[in-house]
Amino acid sequence: SDGVLSVFNPLSFDRTDVITLDGAWSISSHPSQVYTDLNGKEKTAVQVTVPAMGSAALSLGKAQAETCPFIADGNTLVTPFYKATFDANGYISSLIDTEADRMISREGGTPLGTFWFGEDMSYTWDNWDIDDDVFCKLKPVTELISREVVGSGPVEYRIRSHYKLGRHSSITMDTVFYAASRRIDHQVQVDWHEHHALLKAGFDVDIRTAFAKNEIQFGHIDRPTTRNNALEAAKFEVCNHKWTDLSETRYGVALLNDCKYGISVEGSDMRLTLHKGGMRPDPVTDNGLHTMTYSLLPHIGAFNAENVIRPAYELNYAPLVVKGILDAPKLFSLSHPGIICESVKTAEDIQDAYVLRLYEAERNSANCTLTLNGAKKVWLTNMLEEKLEELPVTNGHVTLRFRPFEIKTVLVER
């Protein structure tokens, strides 16, 4: 077991993505590569598949020779999924989905990933409000100080760009393309020392839709992408949790994030709010280093859990990594991709029992089979874990029927 690392997946569905290990490791069983992150620390990126609520083993040893699937030529990069062209400021001026033969960047639009920065003087509530006149003040950040490729291998292609921001601040950004994922990550570190200023990241994509889907707790909401009346104009800045999606019937583009929950969408231009420099009540609020990750995710096919919701969970919930072999039998599984387990906890009042909080995430009615490991009794409860109904268990299987966006709390006695 000394030559093994175990990776545990805390999510309720199988995942195939790139995980990050602290330090430099030589992995013999999976594609991997070592890089240095934005803080100068060595990391190892590993491409791995981990089952739902289960674990996978990484064998340590001499890494196998892997071919690099990325082809760079001047300001153009070809990946297994895309052909990207970069402009003089390091932003993506053209992005083509080669699998779908589709242009993702909008012709005549602003390059993908552009930072927008400008004065932000709120009429009231300085540290909280954003007024709609801020869009007249935001300008693209174009002071590119340096740019270099810091990683190219079998797992990912990583470009590091450094920008001057305002009078006293700067941004360092890693743009990461993956060999086995459609996600394009933007790992950003902002050294912020500005007052009354706002920073956004813009993605002007070629998608025509009247509504953007913004994730909210246990579901999502459709909000207009137009400004046709006063009600729509008032929604110039709205809340999103882990993702916002623009989709047609056969193609879409999502913007995922791990900690930034304000966004503005007009037409096909998504602008994620990254930082705000208010001065009341604290004049030095948020000064210093801030780290965040957001991802552009073009997807073939319409919006659904597999295309948007699950990748957003993967970005937000990293697998747990331990040395040695992890003996963790799979706790449960769900048959329907649109049913998400949001949390697992021990029961408050019953010994040797646990609670699952499940919800339907796509706004569809769904029948789902919950497969349990060693369950004696299963109960449907309310949020206080008060038993409402005993659910029949057949060979470890429980049938659940969900209404759109319905939340169910399930108590399992072992």
Question: Cα–chain-centroid distance for residue 124?
Answer: 32
**Residues with Cβ < 8 Å from 111, sequence gap 6 or more?**
87, 89, 91, 92, 93, 105, 204
CB 48 within 8 A of CB 7: yes
What is the three-class DSSP state of 192? strand
- Spell out, as residue ranges, where the chain has pLDDT lower than 70: 1-2
Tokens of 253: 């583009």
Strands (E), 3-155: 4-8, 15-22, 32-36, 42-50, 55-59, 71-73, 76-78, 82-86, 92-97, 102-103, 114-119, 139-140, 144-152
The whole-number pLDDT of residue 329 equals: 81
Question: Cα–chain-centroid distance for residue 316?
Answer: 6
DSSP H helices in 99-241: 230-233
Task: Report the 10 Å Cβ neighbour count for 195.
Answer: 16
Tokens of 54: 């289960």
pTM, two decimal places: 0.96
Q: 316 φ, ψ to 5°?
A: -90, -25
What does the CA dihedral 377, 380, 382, 387 come to, rounded to 10 degrees?
Answer: -40
Q: Determine the residue type at 331.
A: L
The whole-number pLDDT of residue 2 equals: 65
135 to each of 159, 270, 274, how far by Cα in Å?
Answer: 29, 13, 15
Tokens of 52: 């739902």
In DSSP terms, 96 is beta-bridged to 83, 103
The whole-number pLDDT of residue 411 equals: 98
pLDDT digits (tens, 9 = 90+) for 150-168: 999 999 999 999 999 999 9
What is the three-class DSSP state of 315? helix
Listed residue (286, 270, 120, 65) closest to 191, CA to CA: 286
R_g over Cα of the chain: 23
Task: Report the 10 Å Cβ neighbour count for 140.
Answer: 14
Q: Determine the residue type at 17.
A: D
